[in-house]
């Protein structure tokens, strides 16, 4: 009988140590370029600058980032923590080893949570952290892999991780924001989940999630914004319907 860990490892598909050389990061990718809106009272332990000007060694910064992810419950705060950390690690001399350590650690947290049958919200958090980190590193072109996977394969992998997170906690509006950012408009196939997740976040009662949806629309689709919230909802529904039709035509 195949063990649960082996099944999970097959799902994760992150074994290996070769960096996948991709083109430059997607221009304007929100996982990298857009600061995530969080509660104003939140204080980040990682500076927002993409440099080591504060003198913190890269490995110490990685350790602090992983500790923050382990204790912080807000998906938006964890998204911004990962974004800031990856911007800093991208400039480190041992960049590839640090990125590998980041993903390996997050992968192990997934395996541990599944093996221990942790509560659904804990499983959702660790799957989400792995998925969002994978999305950022895909945008950077810095995903460790044993095979030279193409971009579509890496995107599909990110999608699987985020889908696993939302399967454990489908009503988490902040995780829907992260899933939308990870699928920011690149093709017909990615427009559908992009609008699906934006719509789920927008129609929630989470104020911060809705503010991040507004930011995404302001950047990508300003024509979908409107004074009345119900008009934005209708616009998103129509955009999703159009994307779904375009995807069907493209197949």
- Residue 136 domain-assigned (yes or no): yes
The mean pLDDT of 200-219, rounded to a whole number, is 96
What digits encode the pLDDT tens for the residues 69-115? 999 889 999 999 999 999 888 888 888 899 999 999 999 999 999 99
In this structure, the answer to whether residues 195 and 112 fall within a common structural domain is: no
Per DSSP, 19 falls in state E
- Residue 80 domain-assigned (yes or no): yes
Q: Supply the mean pLDDT for the chain.
A: 84
Task: Give the integer Cα–Cα distance in Å for 250 and 167.
Answer: 28
Q: Is 229 helix (H, G, I), strand (E, B) or coil?
A: helix
Radius of gyration of the CA atoms of the chain, in A? 18
Residue 140 sits in which domain range? 1-40+54-170
Structure tokens given for 136: 């950022």
CA 149 to each of CA 15, 16, 145, 152: distance values in angstroms, whole numbers, following the listed order: 12, 12, 7, 8
- Residue 181 domain-assigned (yes or no): no
| Predicted pLDDT of residue 167 | 96
What digits encode the pLDDT tens for the residues 128-161? 999 999 999 988 888 876 456 788 888 899 999 9
What digits encode the pLDDT tens for the residues 7-43? 454 445 433 333 333 333 334 688 988 899 998 878 7
% pLDDT > 90, the chain = 56
In this structure, the answer to whether residues 156 and 92 fall within a common structural domain is: yes
The last residue of one of the domains, among 170, 196, 217, is 170
Output the pTM of the full model: 0.85
- Where does the pLDDT of residue 240 fall: very low under 50, low under 70, confident under 90, or very high at 90 and above? very high
| Predicted pLDDT of residue 133 | 96
| Predicted pLDDT of residue 5 | 46
For tokens 């069907």, name the residue.
Answer: 248
| Domains identified in the chain, total number | 2
In this structure, the answer to whether residues 23 and 66 fall within a common structural domain is: yes
Task: Give the integer Cα–Cα distance in Å for 88 and 59.
Answer: 11
């Amino acid at each position: 009988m195949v063990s649960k860990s082996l099944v999970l490892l097959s799902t994760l598909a992150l074994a290996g140590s070769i960096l996948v050389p991709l083109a430059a990061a997607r221009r304007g990718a929100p996982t990298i370029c857009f600061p995530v809106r969080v509660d104003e009272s939140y204080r980040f332990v990682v500076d927002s600058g993409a440099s080591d000007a504060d003198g913190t060694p890269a490995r110490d910064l990685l350790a602090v980032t992983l500790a923050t992810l382990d204790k912080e419950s807000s998906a938006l705060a964890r998204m911004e923590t990962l974004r800031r950390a990856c911007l800093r690690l991208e400039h480190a001399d041992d960049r590839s080893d640090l990125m590998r350590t980041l993903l390996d650690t997050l992968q192990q947290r997934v395996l541990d949570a599944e093996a221990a049958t942790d509560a659904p919200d804990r499983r959702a958090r660790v799957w989400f952290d792995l998925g969002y980190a994978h999305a950022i590193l895909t945008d950077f072109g810095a995903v460790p892999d044993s095979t030279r996977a193409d971009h579509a394969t890496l995107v599909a992998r990110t999608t699987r991780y985020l889908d696993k997170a939302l399967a454990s906690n489908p009503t988490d509006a902040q995780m829907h924001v992260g899933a939308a950012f990870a699928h920011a408009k690149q093709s017909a196939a990615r427009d559908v989940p992009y609008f699906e997740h934006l719509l789920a976040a927008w129609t929630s009662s989470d104020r911060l999630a809705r503010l991040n949806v507004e930011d995404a629309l302001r950047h990508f689709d300003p024509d979908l914004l409107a004074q009345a919230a119900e008009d934005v909802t209708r616009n998103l529904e129509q955009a999703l319907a159009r994307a779904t039709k375009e995807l069907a035509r493209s197949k």
